[in-house]
Amino acid sequence: MSLYRMVAVIALLVLISGCTSLSSVKPWEKGVLSRPEMTFEKDPQDAAFSEHIYFSREAASGGNGVGGGGCGCN
C-alpha cells in the first residue's frame, strides 16, 4: 500500500468510528426539546380525539396531517 492510501484508510476509519454512538440520549438530557410545549399538539386530548375520528373514518391509524378522504379524488 502506498502511504497516501494508508493515510486515507486510517482517516476513513477514524471518521466512521466517530459516527457511531456508544450511548443514547435520555429524554431528560435533551433540555429544551423535552419540554411539553415543544410538542406538535397543543392539547393531548384534542389530538387523541382527532386520531380516534381519523381511525374511525379511514379504518386505519397513523398518517395524521394528510389531506383527503381516501377516495382518491384529490
Per-residue confidence of the chain (74 residues) as pLDDT tens digits?
689 999 999 999 888 887 676 677 777 778 877 777 777 777 888 888 888 887 776 665 555 555 555 565 54
Is residue 21 one of the residues assigned to a domain? Answer: no
The pLDDT of residue 43 is 83
Question: 34 CB contacts (<8 Å, ≥6 apart)?
Answer: 27, 28
Pick from 46, 39, 64: which is nearest to 54 by CA?
A: 64
C-alpha torsion sign, points 57, 61, 67, 69 = negative
Is residue 24 one of the residues assigned to a domain? Answer: no
Number of domains in the chain: 1
Alpha-carbon span 69 to 61, nearest angstrom: 14
Domain span at 38: 34-62
The pLDDT of residue 10 is 92
Is residue 73 one of the residues assigned to a domain? Answer: no
Is residue 55 one of the residues assigned to a domain? Answer: yes
Is residue 38 one of the residues assigned to a domain? Answer: yes
Is residue 2 one of the residues assigned to a domain? Answer: no
Is residue 39 one of the residues assigned to a domain? Answer: yes
